[in-house]
Every structure is written in structure tokens, then in C-alpha cells.
Amino acid sequence: MLRDHTKGRAMNIDPTRMRVAYLTRFHYFGISGWRSDASRDIALLLDPARLEQRLEMMGDITVPSLRGQTDMAFDWFVLSSAQMTDSYKDKLRALVKSVSCNICRARFIGPDSANTVFRRILMNNYDHDQVISTVVLDDDDAVSADFTATVKEVASRGWNHRQVGAEMLFTSFPQGHSVVLRPDGCEVIDRHTPWNNQGLTLTARADNRKTVYGISHRKVGQRHPSQLHDDGRSYYLRAVHDSNDSRAIVADHFGPSDMDSARARFPLVDFARLHLPALTPQ
């Protein structure tokens, strides 16, 4: 078990023993970062048609990317709303549990700060002085098949060489793809965005006052000890559609992706069938 007893002096971490935890919000009625109009209206947020649409996207994009990890020794915590009906809670639990990782758990919590709730989740599941790497994973995004293994290697190396006294270290993976979802299919576009939210990783003790949902990701490089891992490989898929942040469709893009390369990086994501599911009244 990895513990940082020194608090201010470097502590070597073996990459094979680094704990990695993916943190996901799914229709959570709370406070955290950029929020769509639907996230501010509980009735709209928990509308059955929207829940069905997002569950389908999560099942087509996020879940396959986690099932396809070359290193399955990771945890996944999904935060959702206590106000959700039992039937949709069961559907979300089943989807989360379909990923065979160490801990795969959906939590249904009342309105609060996502940073506060995730900090409580981490402290309830790990020893407070255990060093872990937590990763932002939106409910319609994906990580590459080697992402867990890469985080263990890159984050532990950065942690072992962090500045004396630094209590946390962020790692950004700028290279990835945007997947523009349309009703009749998708378009995959190369994207390069330092300090983007996709795959943003925080390495720190479990009781660290900040989580990846308690910071402004665009200013991570200015405000916190941090590192960029940019080796030319793609590490994330960013879904772009009519119900998320439309700025992602126009920023930091370079043109159509090489699909053979994208399929190799995300082998269990079926790009041929990806599309924007219809909002069908339930």
C-alpha cells in the first residue's frame, strides 16, 4: 500500500503499485465546473429521454474504453443524483459493474459540490495517506487502451521527481480526438489541447483538499505543480454533440483523424456504429 509519510520530502513510488481511480459525473445535480442548461434544472436533468440517450452514449464510448484497458487494475467511481428513479439507478449500476476493475461503484448523492463528494468518496475507500492518481472521465468520453498503464508510469515518475513540499501533481495528456456525434454517424477529428479536461490526472494523497473536480483545468499549468505527457499518441476521445460544451468542436483541431490509428488506440469502441442517439420520449 502506497503511503506518503514524509508529506514534504520525495517518496519513490513503484508504478506497478500506483492506484488509479477514474472519477465520473453522470447527471449529477450539484456544483462543479462547466454546467449545461440541463444540469441546472433537475426535471430536465433527470428526464427519462435524456437519461436513455446518455446511458447509450456511455455504453458505446466510455464503458468499452474501460473494458479494453491493457491494465485492469484500476477503480471507477461514478457520481449521480439521489433524486434519480430506482429503475435508472439500476441501469447505471449495471453499466458500471459491467467493467471488471478493482472497484466499480455508482454513488447517488443529494445536491453538493462534486469536489466535496468525490473527496469524501476517496477518503472512504483509501487510507488517508495513500497516494493515488485520480482521472477525470466524462460520461460520454473515452480513454485509450493503454491509459491506465501510462498513468501509472508517467504519474509515478513525476511524483518521484516533484518539487520538495509539493502535495499534489497534475498530469495533462493533450493529444486526442474529438468525436462529433450526429444522428447518422460520427466524424473523428484530431485534437491537441494542453491542460484539457479529458484524462486530466491528479496524483496526491487520498485526503488532499482538492480533487480533479475542484480546480480550473485550463489554469492547472499556471497554478499547480504539473507536467504534460505529449508523445504523439492519442489518449482520449472527446464526444461533441448538441448537449455538451460546443466550444470543443471548433478549438484546437487539426483535421480528420487517421481511423486505423484511432481504432488501434481505442480497440473496443465501434466507430462504425457511433452516432447521436435520438431523444425518444419514454
CATH number, domain with residue 19: 3.90.550
| 141 falls within a domain | yes
Q: Per-residue b/e over 124-143, b at no fewer than 16 CB within 10 Å?
A: ebbeeebbbbbbbbbbbbbb
- The answer to the question of residue 87 being in a domain is yes
Residue 3: its pLDDT value, please? 44
Residue written as grid cell 468525490: 118
Return the pLDDT at 2: 46
Which pLDDT does position 34 carry in this prediction?
47
pLDDT in tens, the chain (282 residues): 444 444 444 467 889 889 999 999 999 998 765 455 556 689 999 999 999 999 999 999 999 999 999 999 999 999 999 999 999 999 999 999 999 999 999 999 999 999 999 999 999 999 999 999 999 999 999 999 999 999 999 999 999 999 888 999 999 999 999 999 999 999 999 999 999 999 999 999 999 999 999 888 788 888 899 999 999 999 999 999 876 654 555 455 567 889 999 999 999 999 999 999 998 877
Taking the C-alpha atoms of residue 159 and residue 166, their distance in angstroms, rounded to an integer, is: 9
| CA 178 – CA 271 distance, rounded (Å) | 12
**What pLDDT score does 282 carry?**
74
Half-sphere exposure of 92 (CA within 13 A, CB side): 29
**Long-range contacts of residues 151-155, Cβ cutoff 8 Å, at least 24 apart:** 151/18, 151/20, 151/201, 152/15, 152/16, 152/18, 152/20, 152/71, 153/15, 154/227, 154/229, 155/18, 155/201, 155/203
- Torsion on CA atoms 107, 113, 115, 117, rounded to nearest 10: -30
Q: Are 169 and 203 in contact (CB under 8 A)?
A: yes
Based on the structure, what is the number of domains in the chain? 1
For residue 119, being part of any structural domain is answered with: yes
Let me know if residue 259 belongs to a domain.
no
C-alpha cell at 121: 468518496
pLDDT computed for residue 25 by the predictor: 96
- What is the C-alpha R_g of the chain? 18
The answer to whether residue 181 sits within a structural domain is: no
Domain membership of residue 167 (yes or no) is yes
- Separation CA 168–CA 152 (nearest Å): 15
List the domain range (segments joined by +) for residue 45. 15-172+196-219
Residue 3 DSSP code = B
pLDDT of residue 246: 46
CA 231 to chain centre: 20
pLDDT of residue 12: 76
Q: Which of 104, 72, 67 is nearest to 267 (CA)?
A: 67
Q: Residue 12 has which C-alpha cell? A: 519513490
Residue 82 lies in a domain: yes
What residue type is assigned to position 94 of the chain?
A: A
Give, to the nearest 10 degrees, the angle between helix 86-97 and helix 48-57. Answer: 0
pTM assigned to the model: 0.92
How far apart CA 277 and CA 9 sit, in angstroms, is 50
Give the C-alpha separation, 128 to 4, whole Å.
10
**pLDDT for the residue 234:** 97
Instruction: Give residue 215's identity as a one-letter amino acid code.
Output: I
